[in-house]
Amino acid sequence: MLATAVETYLSVRRAAGFALIQPGVHLRSFAAYSQAKGQQYINAQIAIDWARQTPSLQQRARRLGNVVRFARYLHAEDPRHEIPPTVFGSERRIRPTPYILSDEQVHQIIQLAALSGYRTLRRQTYSTLFALLACTGLRVSEAIRLRYDDITPEGLVIRATKFRKSRLVPLHETARAGLERYLQQRRPYAPFDDHVFISLRRKPLRIEDIETAFRTVADKMGLPRGRGRHRPTPHSFRHRFAVRALQNCPDGRDHITRHMLMLSTYLGHSNAALTYWYLEAVPELMQTIAERCEAYVTGGAP
């Protein structure tokens, strides 16, 4: 019974746009565990015992949280399903402090990528990819899924990303010119594959490939670790883009509200809270906020 209910629940939520890959694995495991215990309905103690099988407290909270949401769904129609208490605390992960690359570091990364590895298309692939990430703020996963038809006169079409939403990312004429120069070399290399970025295997790039290429360049540069031993990663290009956009926000409450909404939409965030996170996560932005608050308190403009 629970196994069937799990599949129905996953189908309903996926139809609403949620991928639920890991939660699906968890819930199927929980259903099998409950069945082995002879339970046809969700039992709170069994759910807690199942979640406790993993060593990490955060993992326990996440596993139990998946069962809690599933239990609420079933309990609405059948009160025999118990809703477990969240005994392991919050399942929210603490987001690490973003590593913000400077303009000089971005230029150096792109230049070194153009000189790293064999003198083949690989150099142009990674230097162009890193430059595109830096000037658009794309997620790495979005960049490696780009295809020829996604490059339009209006910009890049980012198709079916998180929550199955698509969006249009404008391209500056210099970025468009750089991308076209790369494509002139790339098209003959793998003519039967229309992915924009490909590996030397003539296949679409994998995230692991990009992380390796970035780490190679970062090590050559001697990029320092950030606070909490946080390393710079390819995602740091996106962090930098978001922070620079916020730093360039015009003054005025109405301007800031519109600016945040537009930036959230541009970045493909599911809600604006993910964009506001940068305000508290980046010391430079917090300093700016503090200075403006102080000016307002002492009689300046808000």
Contact partners, residue 131, CB within 8 Å, separation at least 6: 110, 175, 178
Report the chain's terminal Cα–Cα distance, integer Å.
58
Please tell me the predicted confidence (pLDDT) of residue 288. 64
How does pLDDT run along the chain (302 residues), one tens digit per residue?
899 999 999 999 888 777 788 899 999 999 999 999 999 999 999 999 999 999 888 899 999 999 999 999 999 999 999 999 999 988 776 667 778 888 999 999 999 999 987 778 899 999 999 999 999 989 899 999 999 999 999 999 998 665 567 888 999 999 999 999 999 999 999 999 999 999 988 899 999 999 999 999 999 998 876 555 578 899 899 888 888 877 777 665 555 566 667 777 677 776 666 665 666 556 666 566 556 665 655 665 55
Would you name the residues annotated as active-site residues?
A: 139, 162, 235, 238, 269, 278
Please tell me the predicted confidence (pLDDT) of residue 126. 95
The CATH number of domain 97-302, selected from 1.10.443.10, 2.30.30.90, 3.40.30.10, 3.90.1150.10 = 1.10.443.10
DSSP bridge pairs for 157: 168
Please tell me the predicted confidence (pLDDT) of residue 291. 64
Please tell me the predicted confidence (pLDDT) of residue 295. 61
Tokens linked to 261? 């909404």
Are the C-beta atoms of 263 and 246 separated by less than 8 Å?
Answer: yes
Percent helix, percent strand, percent coil in the chain, to nearest 5 = 60, 5, 35
Please tell me the predicted confidence (pLDDT) of residue 231. 80
Please tell me the predicted confidence (pLDDT) of residue 58. 87
Query: Is this model's pTM higher than 0.75 or not?
Result: no
DSSP 262-285: HHHHHHT-SSTHHHHHHHHH-HHH
Read off the DSSP letter of residue 223: P
